[in-house]
Amino acid sequence: MSVTVESGEMSIHPRSSAYDASDARWINQVQILLSSLQVNVGQVRKEVTPVAGQKGGLVEIIVALGSAGALTAAVEVFKLWLSRDKTRSIDITTKTGDVEKKITITGENISKELLAQALKQAAK
């Protein structure tokens, strides 16, 4: 997941240690995350980067964080989605100018407080 601070957009890269990115079961799980974000957060889009030798590709979910309410809703969606399966994780990569930071939140270390703190740190 990467957050572009200037535009107020967050790009989420969901991962699983149990499923291959092209596995239909994983694709369904990512679609559930996308749908939950669309319903609860609002402006969301999905981008797929093709990977040689794989069906589909790497999925990024872009979330517009225009308000504190959108950030709070995103935290709730991430927490719920990650807590359903301990093999899930999301990568957050922030980029401000030439400075890039990466944060990974997993289903094993997820808490509402940790996720909110990580997203706020990423946005600094």
Read out DSSP for the chain?
A: -EEETTTTEEEEEEEESSS-TT-HHHHHHHHHHHHHHHHHT--EEEEEEE-TTSSSEEEEEEEE--SHHHHHHHHHHHHHHHHT-TTEEEEEEEEETTEEEEEEEESSS--HHHHHHHHHHHH-
Report field, pTM of the whole predicted structure over 0.75: no
- Give yes or no for a contact between 24 and 93, defined as CB atoms under 8 angstroms apart: no
CATH number of domain containing 53: 3.30.70
pLDDT in tens, 66-113: 666 777 788 888 888 998 888 999 887 666 667 777 778 887 767 777
- Number of domains present in the structure of the chain: 1
Domain that holds residue 48: 2-123
